[in-house]
Amino acid sequence: MNRSNKTVIGTFLTPAVVLLMAFMILPFVMAFVLSFTNSRLIPGPRGTQYIGLTNYQKLVEDNMFWRGLKHNFYFVIIVVPIQTSLALLLAILVNQKLKFSKFFRTFYFIPTVTAMVAVAVVWSFLYHPNGLINSFLTFITGGVWGGVDFLNTTRWAFPAIMAMSIWQGVGFQMLIFLAGLQDIPSSYYEAADIDGANSWEKFKYITLPQLKNTTTFVVISTTILAFRLFTQILVMTNGGPQGSTYTVMLHIYKMAYQRLNIGYGSALTVVFFIIILIISLLQRYLLGEQREVA
């Protein structure tokens, strides 16, 4: 590689490296440093002081953190498989050479580019006891369905948020799967037709193996996004009712910006980041092992 090529590569990489440093690496380093202090959003008379591992000791005994983490895992375990499967199904459907396929691609993707706050507000109205969802269920059941206050019932609040989150995010994964589908050579399917393979066999032996790298990316990215569950919780339930929708991100927000405890909020952030990083690396390892075995 000559010097001119290195210059061109460096020129294109510099903006990305600067943004990565400014918005990811530097904030994490600052959070790590602050996690060992008693820093507050509004400094006290003594200012910020080093307190060692006190924030991390407090975290171990913080029941709300562990409750939120349990809810995060529950959300990930339910949402990621369902959202990934639906995204693949939608991608296969809109990849067919059918009429209005481009319209449906746009239609499914629109919720993804809509602000989550706006989506959460609209769905809050839909979930109202007298909202459209209850009215529809009452109609199709002939009045058997009596109506439920979804967001104020411990049994229904978290599943309701899961359903809304799946609907809002599935379009993003659909487009990624669609790109992967369109990258599969058509000659593979033509050869399968000659061999007399049916649709299921082509899906099992051609589509799925060819989408392994795409699936790995979708699963990992969806998992990270699922762990970041915050906006819809804050807007729709604020962690209620009775803490049934409380999450780690909401806990970090309340500790750092409502109770003004930046030091403890930073410790929560560092631990949560490490948990997500370990899970992402484990997923990549397991899915990578699948590729090698297959």
> Tokens representing 56?
């991390």
Q: Assess if residue 45 is contained within a domain.
A: no
Least confident stretch, 56-60, 102-106, 122-126 = 102-106
292 pLDDT higher than 70: no
Domain count along the chain: 1
Average per-residue pLDDT for the chain? 89
CB 56 within 8 A of CB 50: no
Domain of residue 234, CATH code = 1.10.3720.10
**Does 31 reside within a domain?**
no
What is the C-alpha separation between 170 and 94, in angstroms, rounded? 13
Are 253 and 230 in contact by the 8 Å Cβ rule? The answer is yes
pLDDT higher than 60, residue 180: yes
Confidence of residue 164 (pLDDT cuts 50, 70, 90): very high
Kindly tell me if the per-residue pLDDT of 291 is higher than 80.
no
Does residue 77 fall inside a structural domain?
A: yes
Please report whether residue 75 resides in a domain. Answer: yes
User: Would you say residue 3 lies in a domain?
Assistant: no
179 CB-contact burial (10 Å; exposed 0-12 / middle 13-18 / buried 19+): exposed
* Domain assignment present for 234: yes
Domain membership of residue 20 (yes or no) is no
Residue 87 lies in a domain: yes
Range of 168's domain? Answer: 62-293
Express each pLDDT in 184-209 by its tens digit.
Answer: 988 998 898 888 888 899 899 999 99
> What would the mean pLDDT of 35-54 be, rounded to a whole number?
86
- Given a contact cutoff of 8 angstroms between Cβ atoms, the answer to whether 249 and 228 are in contact is yes
